[in-house]
Amino acid sequence: MNTGSLPLDLADRMIENVVGSFPVPLGVAVNFLINDRDFLIPMAIEEPSVVAAASYAAKMAREGGGFRTNSTASVMIGQIQTVGMSDPYAAKVRVMQAKTEILKKANDQDPLLVSLGGGAEDLETKVIHTSEGPMLITHLLVDCKDVMGANAVNTMAEAVAPIIERLTGGRVYLRIISNLATKRLARAWCLVPRDAVGGEEVVDGIVKASAFAAEDPYRAATHNKGILNGIIGVVVATCNDHRAIEAGAHAFAARNGRYTTLSTWERSDKGDLVGSIELPMAVGTIGGAVRTHPIAKISLKILRVETARELGEVLAAVGLAQNLGALRALAHEGIQRGHMSLHARNIAVAAGAKGQLIDQVAEEMVQEKKIRMDRAKELIQKHRLAGKSETRGNE
Ligand code: MEV
């Protein structure tokens, strides 16, 4: 069986009940200048226009010096849920008092991570009041360095649970990483010269689009989806856990009690466009499938990033670029013009066009502004008949 680039025996070791592999287009976005270094950005995504829009936006940002980024350390949170204590607040203090013992037990689970300068580094505790009574929630803060960290954190959380039960007199249930990775944030910003983005009116439109999304969760969800279009493309191309990134991004966007945007677009004092973004970024450059999947290895080579923090910062810049590409199109000509020609090609393929006929039919549908399956089928039929009568005429 042809499984593409992922050998079946490898796939079989990655998940259960494997019957094949599932290819998605891999594109490379260009023009990215991040912290004065040029980057090529591999993206695995099925949606037309995303790679083109990211490249176009990166070109605009490049005219203002590209993207600047920074990040926190790679600290993930492991949660330990304890229930059934008569004195949850005193139990909380007892757990904090045993911090050294708990951190040591956690770090004993992963000497390699500790030798690389990572490991469990702090504890936080809180009492929450639930429909099932008070619970003590302990947060184990683990610097995961270059791994995403779910395995390391979950192992540590499970290992320290008996100590917490002993200290609290309660019963531990859940011991699991949190995807709301508020201590592992990546940030990016850029200044796009007014003329590069299309003039004052376009700047105005983008700033107003950003303000709209900041206040309205219906728009914020779509605004953030546009950001994730770019980020998830790279996350998938590097075989990182995109569900973790999505969950973290949306939870972070709602962290103040109301869902809002992950990015903001403002006007500089000179009337240029300034964009910024901050979001959790639980990605790794080692561990998991990142270093086993052949395409993920190639993607990392294309990116030329060594550390998880570097990768996270590139992802933040890609998200901001993707957002800029979408907002510029929305505030200017609308997204459908660019989107539709690729969409038309997909429709043409789905209707049965092959080879040159794909572009021909797609172009005609775009010209007619009738990008529909029934029209694609009619056009294919028309061209096939024309082709046949031409052949007959030549006989
Ligand atoms: C489509 O995949 C993404 C957009 O809807 C994002 C946005 O509206 O900002 C274009």
Q: Which pTM was predicted?
A: 0.89
- pLDDT, position 390: 64
- pLDDT, position 225: 98
Q: Report whether 233 contacts 51 (CB < 8 A).
A: yes
Question: How does pLDDT run across 318-343, given as a tens digit for each residue?
Answer: 999 999 999 999 998 776 666 777 78
Q: How far is CA 34 from the centre of its chain?
A: 18
Residue nearest atom 6 in ligand 1 by C-alpha distance: 226
Residue 242 is among the residues annotated as catalytic for this protein: no
- pLDDT, position 341: 77
209 CA from centroid of ligand 1 (Å): 12
Task: Write down the residue that tokens 């009568």 correspond to.
Answer: 389
pLDDT(369) > 90: no
285 CA from centroid of ligand 1 (Å): 28
pLDDT(393) > 90: no
For ligand 1, which residues put their CB under 6 angstroms from it?
47, 222-223, 225-226, 229, 326-327, 330, 335
Sign of CA dihedral 230, 72, 74, 139: negative
The confidence band for 140, taking pLDDT boundaries of 50, 70 and 90, is very high
Question: Closest by alpha carbon to 170, among 132, 142, 140?
Answer: 132
pLDDT(154) > 60: yes
Task: Write down the residue that tokens 């983008």 correspond to.
Answer: 206
pLDDT(388) > 60: yes
pLDDT(147) > 80: yes
- pLDDT, position 291: 84
Q: Which of 121, 124, 158, 225 is catalytic?
A: 225
Question: How does pLDDT run across 169-224, given as a tens digit for each residue?
Answer: 999 999 999 999 999 999 999 999 999 999 999 999 999 999 999 999 999 999 99
3 state SS of 178: strand
- pLDDT, position 3: 47
Residue nearest atom 3 in ligand 1 by C-alpha distance: 226
Q: How far apart are CA 246 and CA 77, in angstroms?
A: 17
At position 2, the amino acid (one-letter code) is N
Residue 225 is among the residues annotated as catalytic for this protein: yes
